[in-house]
Amino acid sequence: MDIETEFSGPEIVGLLGVVLAGVGAVVPWVTAAIDVGPVDTAVVVSGLDAAGILTLVLAVIAALVVLTPGFGRDGPVATGLVGVALVVVGVRGFLAIPGIAMPGVGLYLTVAGGLALAVGGLLDYVARTDSRSPAPG
């Protein structure tokens, strides 16, 4: 596998999205404070206890696509689609939180990582399309 050592702007945005989504997969997704008589406690659900495993797998797939030039013209599309999937997983996580709980930082990182991947994929697609079109004249 040939891994590039120099990255374009869209690839850097994509790698930022990979890092955000990867970290978001393992940090808390939901926190709930429970008041039980004289004892107060907090319940914390990490991403790995929820759909964080899926987001971690998606982040690894996106990293392979961004780092492997062999994906050619389909790489930006794949990166963008993985980004959209991460946003969907994160938003569904927000919607599934019960009223007594608060979203954790993991959900925010998952959505931010997905958005960065989608934007990076779009920018890479546009850059590749512009470089293939003939110069006017």
Average pLDDT, the chain: 84
pLDDT at 19: 95
pLDDT at 103: 93
Q: Exposure pattern of 17-27 as b/e (b: 16+ CB <10 Å)? A: bbebbbbbbbb
Alpha-carbon torsion 47, 49, 55, 60, what sign? positive
Q: Are residues 59 and 113 in contact, defined by beta-carbon separation less than 8 angstroms?
A: yes
Residue 1 scores a pLDDT above 50: no
* Least confident segment among 33-42, 52-61, 85-94: 33-42
- pLDDT tens per residue, range 80-137: 899 999 999 999 999 998 888 899 999 999 999 999 999 998 888 888 777 665 655 5
Q: Are residues 104 and 31 in contact, defined by beta-carbon separation less than 8 angstroms?
A: yes
Q: Are residues 52 and 29 in contact, defined by beta-carbon separation less than 8 angstroms?
A: yes
